[in-house]
Structure 1
């Protein structure tokens, strides 16, 4: 299975009184990774292979979060090296996709943008269900064959949480 490996920098303000990343801030880290990986950035010199969704006020489609689940496995301490958010598609529906995440340590000097799972114990596992919406009507729109082909390259087994939903 091929995963996206997205670097996300931590901020001092992400830490709580116990000096680890706050649970709410973890959702922000995942959002940052998702925006980097899936939203088209016209100014990017080396775009992500999955950055196929237009953004901004003139985009014809929007993405909405329909649901999220997260499981914290161990505290994440501050590091100057960006953490590695491994991402893949756990399920691909007609108008929705399930984005799966694992948060891992980064590496000094960086790491490859795509590759196999690291195999290390993650700090966090999470899933976000995204619905693609037609901007004009506000209704869900089908994922195009072109989008589906890109997403399928990074599809894998959905996350099985230790606790029930």
Structure 2
């Protein structure tokens, strides 16, 4: 199962070639990842409790407390991206699909595919990427195990990892 996170492009995401800059693509992936995995306790759900309101992006996967001072840090250990086509400025949100390619002891591989706006008959595949995230205890600065709440929330989204094209 995959999460579909709609992300709007900003005019500032474009570069001199009139397409989304490669570095900005990493920011778009980060934004989708935050919407998918960080809890939003502003509407009453406790951070990390899994009771945050479920929008179309989170669907129960948003169980990490991403606020300043949180007990857990989410550190990027590795990021790989394959650009397949330039993304022009689009008014409708792009469709970033996320799933878990690997759920380890203290880390997870988040896989992404970036398509044109959802609902279009022939949505174009622009990029695919994988991010390895390590959960780190903020007090000890050491990796910490994925807890039962997180594992339960993320297991339904396990799918085969992306196989990248190699030269």
Bin of the TM-score, shorter chain as denominator length: 0.7 to 0.9
- Secondary structure (helix, strand or coil) at the match of 1:153 reads helix
Q: Unpaired segments of 5 or more residues in structure 2?
A: 44-52
Match runs of 1:16-165 below 5 Å: 16-43=15-42, 45-47=53-55, 48=58, 49-107=60-118, 121-163=124-166
Pairs aligned (count): 155
CA separation of 1:155 and 1:120: change in aligned 2, threshold 3 A:
farther
TM-score scaled to structure 2, two decimals?
0.87
After superposing on structure 2, the runs of 4+ consecutive aligned residues of structure 1 that deviate more than 4 Å are 118-121
Counterparts of 1:120 and 1:94, CA distance in 2: 35
Counterparts of 1:40 and 1:72, CA distance in 2: 29
User: Relative contact order (C-alpha < 8 Å, sep 6+): which is higher?
Assistant: 1
RMSD: 1.9
